[in-house]
Structures are given as structure tokens and as C-alpha cells.
Structure 1
Amino acid sequence: MGNNTTEVYTLDELNSEIRRKLLAPLIYLLLLAVIGIPGNFFVIIIFRTYKRNVYRTLILNMAIIDFSFCLIGIPFNIIRILYYYTFKVTRVCQIFAGMLDFGIMSSTHLLMLMAVHRYRQIFMPLKSQINTENVKYFIATSLIIGVALATPQIAVLQPLEKVQFQNNITGSICAVTWKDSPYYWKVYNFFLSGLFVTYAFVLFFIYGRIGRKIIVRRIWRSKQRASSCNGKPSDVSNRMTKIAFAVSAVFILSYLPLYINEELAKIVNASELSPVQFAVFKIIERSYIMNHVANPFVYACFDVRFRSKLWEILKSCRQNGIRKENENSKLSLDNVYTVRTSSTRTTNFS
């Protein structure tokens, strides 16, 4: 993959060779697309049928962003693999990278908004809360912040990464990181990394306190033997907390490898990696996509109502498919019968 390549001599052949090395990341992305696109679509359909509250409104908006991210971000990453050394248009690379940054930042701030909402409900119940009337302004603010943080990715013209081979062959890569970037871009990336670390600590603090509060409350209620009286509201509140915590954990676990990978990219020469190491390196580089794919599994795991609704939809789709298949089969048999009848009548007439 580096300057010592002697087996191939054209850029297309070099691109075909690297494509074979990136088969595992390509399969990984295809699986994420197959899971993430319908998964988030089902979340949108199901949560639109629920009675509105702040929690469900936030999840619905997160699902819309995740669905859009899967529709745009995964195909974009697939194209980056298929045209690894032959990505030509710099502006296309920047625009799509900026769109991904917008999805990442907007989803992150909606996640933070959900955590703050749960924290205020539990620890500040008598103070003013986010409600169904003002939540739209908080969501709009999160989207505006996402636009603001993603704008530099589109506005600043970043060159495609150039790779020089023998015989004066030069490849161009739509890279995630900007090597030899100017000082202001390093400051921008340092700010985003610091933002991730800050949010991770805030989420850890919020859900750490919430978890401790729930445990203490559960112990107290078990001693008072009053859980049966207020069981349903408590169960609903705990379920919401578990889902919010699980979604936050997925966020941290999916983005942490990305930031570690970016630091490793500065000291590791990709051309010196084995094919397996290089494939793993590129999969980790795209670990953040899991954050936009895994949430439907979280809801199905902790929300019985969501799981039953999802099963009803899948069962209905299956029944409709069988019904349509039977109708097509019946139509085909009718056509065959009509053709045979017409043929028989023609023969008798003759």
C-alpha cells in the first residue's frame, strides 16, 4: 500500500488491491446499513404512535437524525472504500464529512439534553422542567449547535490526502484526519476532542448519581413494603433511566475508539501494517457509526411496549408479503388457465 508496491503499476490496479484488503470494513458497513436503516425507521414509526412527552420527543428526533445518518454516512463511507485511491472531488469529501459532523454533534447534544432532563426530574423536581411545549426550543438549539460545530468542516478547504507510488503515480484519499494541518485546525480538533471528554464525564456523573439515587430509593421502598402501591410509575421512571443510560453508554463506547484511533494514526504508518491490522484499523476508524445503529436494540431490550409494537409491524409485513405472494400465484394460475382455454378453443375451431 506504500511506496514499495511493485506488483501493480496503474492507479486502478492499486485501488483494486486496497479494496481487497478493505473487504472486512466493507462488509461491516453493509451490515450496519442493513441493520441501522430499517431499525431507526421502525423507531420513528413506533414512537410517532406514542403519547407525546419530553423523553419520547427526544428519542424520536434522535431516531430521525440516526436514520438520516445511516442513509448518508454509511454509503459515503462505502464510496470512500471503493474509491480509496481515486477519490477526486475535494468539495464532495468535505460536504459529506460536514454532514456527518452535523449528525454526530446534533445527536450528541440531544443525548446530553436527555441526561439533563432526567437529572432535573430526579434531583430538582420542584424547579421548572423541560416540557412538551418548550422542548422544541431545546431541540432547535441542539441542531443549531450541530450546524455551528460542523460548519468548519465544510467551510475550510481541506486537501485530499495524497499518496505517492512508483512510476509517478499519485493516489488521492478522502481522509478523516487532515495530516500536516495548520495550527487553527489542530485547535478545532482539540476542542472537539475536549468536548467529547467533557460530555463523557458529565454523563458518567449524571447517571452515577441517578443510579445511586435509584438504588437507595429501592432499598427504602423494600423496607417500607410500599413498592406495590407505586410500582407502575417507578417502573416507568426506571425504564426511562435505563434506556437513557444505555444510549449514553453506547455513545461513549462507540466514539472512544475513534479518538484513540486518531491519536494512533499520528504515530502509526499504515503502509507498515499487515492486511488484517489495516482492516481492523479501518473498522475502528468507523466505530462511531455504531452509535447511530445500536439504539433500536436498546429500546427493544428495555421497552416491552416497543418490542411488542415492533413484533406487530414485522408480523403484519410478513402477512402482507404472504398475501401478496398468494395473489400473484393465483393471478399467474388464472393467466395460465386463460391461455390454455383460448388455445383449446382455437384448436377446436380449426
Structure 2
Amino acid sequence: MNSKKVLVTGAAGFIGFHLTKLLLDKSYEVIGIDNLNDYYDPKLKEDRLKILEKMDNFIFHKVDLKDKAALDDVFKKYRPEYVVNLAAQAGVRYSLINPYAYVDSNLVGFMNILEACRHYPVKHLLYASSSSVYGGNKVAPFSTSHNVDHPVSLYAATKKSNELMAHTYSNLYKIPTTGLRFFTVYGPWGRPDMAYFSFTKNIIEGKPIKVFNHGKMERDFTYIDDIVEGVYKLIEKVPAAKEDWDETKDDISTSFAPYKIYNIGNNQPVQLMKFINVLEDKIGKEAEKIYMDMQPGDVLRTYADVSDLERDINFRPNTSIEEGLGKFVNWYREYYKV
């Protein structure tokens, strides 16, 4: 019995649910926390949770990361060895409407996680960053050795801030931290605010879909199973400090502190129109399209360089969008009974 204890925040969320399920299958003990907010349909979160609660070795607490006392209580009671922080306010467009949600969840909440890891020491803290930190970068594929100081949305800025905060705690308190820059994650049990989800809903219901930048955007769409496999393989890959680290010749995704950043992406950008065409094919129906201009905060292209992921854990995402979207559409029809 592998009774290693992992605390997963955002356990009822899209990535958190899939990761928790995988860890439970691998015989980890998982303490899941989530605030079950209503950013999107809470029923989806509750249904994910019902599946997890039927599994052995899973304990759930409804906790908001902003509630420092409640979070500390969980750490104090369970003393997790590993922490995977996936609780965050997601979404680029929503950060234009409700910026304070991002400050509360992604900055104050993450600060509370770092403090808890400091006072109840853990072997390794992994946390969700995002491909959006690459902002206005033009050089592709995006590498963890590239500078990421030009975010184009508040969401991206909070994710970059998480990386900086984590580095500080790795340095001051020797907490090993790993930041995970996820690239456009999709798949069954996904988030309804994501384009592929609303596209599927609208195509099935015969409603038009909004195609931003006239479909000329590229995204490194990454299937959920690939994402959580990568996270799982990194949990016990604890970063070590490089005592003689030198920014003039060493990779900036490493440090003199026990700190590392990885991209987890499919390493194959797909044009939005191709993605829509595959989705139409899987649904068996053509979409009515409304072509629109680029939205504020959006980026033209995302493309992950995953060479360090391959080098360190011998893994790279490889699910094609045909396979991934096929699985998503099958799940969607079954879940919504359409």
C-alpha cells in the first residue's frame, strides 16, 4: 500500500478531479479541498466529487484558500507530504470583468498555501501556472528558458506572480516548488467556460458559435489525460537547488533554490478553424459561425517546448485532437443526454 499523502486543492475542478482520480488509482491517499464556487455550473463540480467520494483513500473538505485558518487546520490535521495547488480563478476573459476574483484566489489564496507549506513542511509543492504567462512573446515554441515579463491579461500576471512567490519561498524556506505551465487543457468533465465546451453545446443545439480572430488563432490543445500523467510523474521528481547557478549560462526555469518550471503542452499547435472542423466531424453537424475580431487579453498562438519534461521524466503529451475531441463529444452526449 502506497500511503503517501497528497493534498490537492481544486479537487472538484476539471484538472483536480482527473488528477485526484489518477492518484487514487495509484494508491495515494488524497486530501481534496475545493470551495465549490459558482464560476461555472456547480452541479458539474458536485458530480465530479460524487465519483471521487466513492473511491478509497479520499477525504474531502470544503475550504476556500482565502480562509487561512481553515486551510491551516487541514495541513495541521493531515500533514500532507505533497501538495498540488490547482485551485485558482481561471479564464482570461473573466479577468477583464472581475479582476478582484483573481487577486483573492490566485494571489491571497496562493500566499496562504505557501505559508501552510512553510509551517507544516512538505516534500514538494507543485502548482498550476499557465501558458498565458508567455503573453506577447513571439519566439515559438515557448520555452521555459524564455523571459516571461510581458503578460497581456491580469490572469497571466497572477500566474507569473505565483512563480515569483514560489521562488521566494523555495529560497527562504527551502520548500521545493514546481510550477506547471498548462497549455489549453480540454477533455471529458471539462470547464463549460472553455471554447470547445460552448462550441459543442451550441453546435448540438443549432446555435451559432463565435470564432475569434476569424479562426486565425493557434492553440496547443492538450488532452486532460496527458496533463495529469505529466503532473503525476512530477510529484516525486523533487527539484534540487543548484548551488552554483548562474543566470548568464543556466536555464532560468531552474535556480540556486529548489525550484523548477515545466511546460505541459501537446507541442503541436492547431489552428482554431481546424479544431472546429474536427469538432464538427465528431458531432456530425456543421457549425453556424460568427467571425469576430481578436479579444483583449487573447494571444495569437501558444506552442509548448516540452524538451525538459521529456529529459526529466521521459514523457511528452501525444493525444491527437481527433482522439481527444472524440472522447470529449462522447462524454458530453452521455452526461447531458443529447
TM interval, short-chain normalised = under 0.3
Higher helix share: 1
**Which protein, 1 or 2, shows the higher relative CO under an 8 Å CA cutoff with sep ≥ 6?**
1
The structure that has the greater radius of gyration is 1
User: Taking structure 2 as the reference length, what is the TM-score of the superposition?
Assistant: 0.27
